[in-house]
Amino acid sequence: MPEVAAAATEAVLTEWLLAEGAAFSAGDALATVETEKALVDIEADADGRLLKLLVPGGKLTDVGAPIAVLAAVGEEVTDLGEVLASLGIDQDPGSGAPVGQEVDPGPPVVEEPAPPPRPAQRGRVFSSPLARKIAKEAGLALEDIPGSGPRNRVLRRDVEAVIASRVAPPAGGERPERSAPDGYDEVPHTRVRKAIASRLQQSKREAPHFYLRATVRADRMMAIRAEINETSSIRVSLNDLVLKAVAAAHVRVPEMNATWTDDAVRRPHAVDVAVAVATERGLVTPVIRDVPALTVTALAARVQELAARAREGRLKQDELEGGTISVTNLGMYGVEEFAAIINPPHAAILAVGAVRDEPVVEAGSLAVGKTLRVTLSVDHRPVDGVVAAQWLAAFVELAEHPARALA
């Protein structure tokens, strides 16, 4: 089991993508591994053949533990048991289970009529890890699902569409009644959900949070966004402009670009910003590298790409690590203002609300303007209140004059 996440001691081998005896080429995905934050495909380093699976799909496995036996191209293995013994693996190659472990024979075999023949397969089926996982749980064959992605790649939405077509409600939209004991549903925790709960609990327990709030005049941000989108093929969101202002504020107040460690306050040289993305498996925060160096359209494209892969469960582990501040936005849901929990080891998180038309004072007179409320949650260990206040003042100025953040 490879160390797919830094300092990880274990991971779930979600599924094998090849059967025993199958040949593979360098770069082919052999298995999918689930870390606390992402699904990761394990790729082959060289051509070869999969001789023996040592760990079944769905099992939590220690990093470094053997999970399979591979053979090089043309390599003949006459005694697999001897190979396993030479590797120190105490396993019976005939049963597929560790020696001495009782194997559950499962329910009695009942002969059933042969299923109808499947339509001709369309060759190798490309699919996302999350699509494969959902299809497997639903008992669907990927070959039977039309893919809507590049090269007919099967995506999560394709699998969900097939599932929805099979469980559509009866005519009239009536739902079956629940019996009296059915008072609730239980949704088992995913590893991502468990990791989120653990990290946020740790953050609230260990990081002394304090909060600063500000109201931003968003008229110019909305205007410059509309102007950019008139000619750009890549749609720029308000959140992209917020990310640029956050990064520019970090450049102006570098003391905010920090994280806390047991021995020192660490100050990265680059300004990397994490953006919160809601997925079906839980909230993830992919990190945008060197935001000040990106144009706003390049930033928008990068955010869109990471968000799409986050929802498909295809983020790489290193894309979820780094940065010193996160941005989370609930404005699209009409939320006016909220405070967020810091994503460790970051020093801060900026919570962004909805843009609203409100009364504002201009030159001593009332007018209607577009306003945006933000709340900055700060870890008081690496950042003092004065530094956070200076940073928030810089952010407000840059957000209200977005051309300065884009320069």
- The residues annotated with a catalytic role in the active site are 380
Residue 381's contacts (CB-CB under 8 Å, 6 or more residues apart) are 207, 208, 260
Both tokens of residue 70? 């591979």
Give the HSE-up count for residue 338: Cα atoms under 13 Å, Cβ half-sphere. 16
Residue 388's contacts (CB-CB under 8 Å, 6 or more residues apart) are 210, 212, 256, 348, 376, 378
Peptide bond into 208 cis (omega under 30): no
Residue 175's contacts (CB-CB under 8 Å, 6 or more residues apart) are 169
Both tokens of residue 307? 């968000």
Residue 219 in 3-state DSSP?
Answer: helix
Q: Are 251 and 406 in contact, with CB atoms under 8 Å apart?
A: no
Beta-bridge partner residues of 16: 31
Distances (CA, A) of 168 to 143, 160, 173, 175, 307: 22, 12, 9, 10, 29
Residue 46 in 3-state DSSP?
Answer: coil
254: left (phi over 0), alpha (psi -120 to 50) or beta: alpha
